[in-house]
């Protein structure tokens, strides 16, 4: 960065299934349009059509069907290129390019850096676009939460949290689910003395009552309120994850 500020990237939220968000990012200089984790095809294609955009890329964070289910039909309709985790290539047969930490993916003039953040799934990746102050975190970092440990362990999730923590506070975090209210109800139990968390929950309760989305969030907000990003050890993260798994809020 040379003081030119955030580069333009228009990001659209497409709510699908019960609580998934598909993110559509349009880079206006090149005209490229990318979708992250398309659970379905029709709603995504319709959204692009309504804006006069053509989808040129899909980025997948992990193999789960609610993140890849639209891949084949969107590709058939647009001829887009699909990029996803090298560690899950055999589980995502629609991939054109496989990537892992250290790789970059171009979106027009913007560069996304790939991070390996396994834990929810064995090969889960995230995409960080520092020039746009944007991160796509899939099912690893959520607003006030983290993904369930289906294929990995707490040590891996703790390591993943350190990678998110290292991003600038102003980084916008685009996660793949609207889990904020449920996450927050557990978070206030985990950290009952956290004033920033209590204040955030007031806002989240109001937003959800009004039917509004609560994401994107930001790295700074998560550093202040997310009990998994804030866990001080692998053991504490493991305890909190187990407690959340059985939490009835």
Determine whether 66 is an active site residue: yes
The C-alpha R_g of the chain, in whole angstroms, comes to 17
Determine whether 124 is an active site residue: no
Minimum distance from residue 91 beta carbon to Zn ion (Å): 12
- Adjacent-strand bridge partners of 174: 136
65: Cα within 13 Å, side-chain hemisphere: 1
Determine whether 128 is an active site residue: no
Distance CA 71, CA 57 (A): 10
Query: For the chain, how far is it from start to end, CA to CA, in angstroms?
Result: 43
The pairing of strands 134-138 and 172-175 is parallel
37 contributes a contact to Fe ion by CB under 5 A: no
Minimum distance from residue 235 beta carbon to Zn ion (Å): 24
Minimum distance from residue 18 beta carbon to Fe ion (Å): 11
Per DSSP, 194 falls in state -
64 contributes a contact to Zn ion by CB under 5 A: yes
Instruction: Build a one-symbol-per-residue string for 102-141: x at contacts with Fe ion by CB under 5 A, - elsewhere.
Output: -------------------------------------x--
The pairing of strands 141-142 and 145-146 is antiparallel
Distance CA 162, CA 233 (A): 11
Determine whether 26 is an active site residue: no
Determine whether 64 is an active site residue: yes
66 contributes a contact to Fe ion by CB under 5 A: yes
88 contributes a contact to Fe ion by CB under 5 A: no
Catalytic residues: 62, 64, 66-67, 120, 139, 177
Contact residues: Zn ion, CB under 5 A: 64, 139
User: Which residues of this protein are in contact with Fe ion, per CB under 5 A?
Assistant: 66, 139
């Amino acid at each position: 960065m040379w003081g030119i500020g955030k580069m333009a990237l228009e990001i659209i939220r497409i709510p699908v299934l019960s609580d998934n968000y598909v993110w559509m990012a349009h880079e206006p200089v090149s005209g490229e349009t990318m979708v992250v984790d398309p659970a379905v095809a029709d709603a995504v294609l319709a959204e692009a059509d309504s804006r006069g955009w053509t989808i040129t890329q899909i980025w997948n964070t992990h193999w789960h069907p609610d993140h890849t289910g639209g891949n084949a039909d969107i590709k058939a309709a647009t001829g887009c290129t699909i990029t996803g985790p090298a560690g899950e290539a055999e589980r995502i047969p629609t991939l054109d390019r496989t990537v892992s930490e250290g790789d970059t993916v171009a979106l027009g003039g913007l560069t996304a850096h790939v991070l390996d953040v396994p834990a929810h799934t064995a090969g889960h990746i995230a995409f960080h676009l520092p020039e746009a102050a944007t991160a796509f975190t899939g099912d690893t970092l959520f607003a006030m939460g983290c993904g369930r440990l289906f294929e990995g362990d707490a040590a891996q999730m703790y390591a993943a949290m350190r990678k998110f923590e290292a991003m600038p506070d102003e980084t916008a975090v685009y996660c793949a689910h609207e889990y904020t209210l449920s996450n927050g109800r557990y978070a206030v139990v985990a950290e009952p003395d956290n004033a920033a968390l209590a204040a955030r929950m007031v806002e989240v309760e109001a937003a959800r009552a009004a039917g509004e989305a609560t994401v994107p969030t930001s790295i700074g907000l998560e550093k202040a309120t997310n009990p998994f990003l804030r866990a001080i050890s692998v053991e504490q993260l493991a305890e909190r994850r187990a407690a959340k798994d059985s939490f009835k809020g």
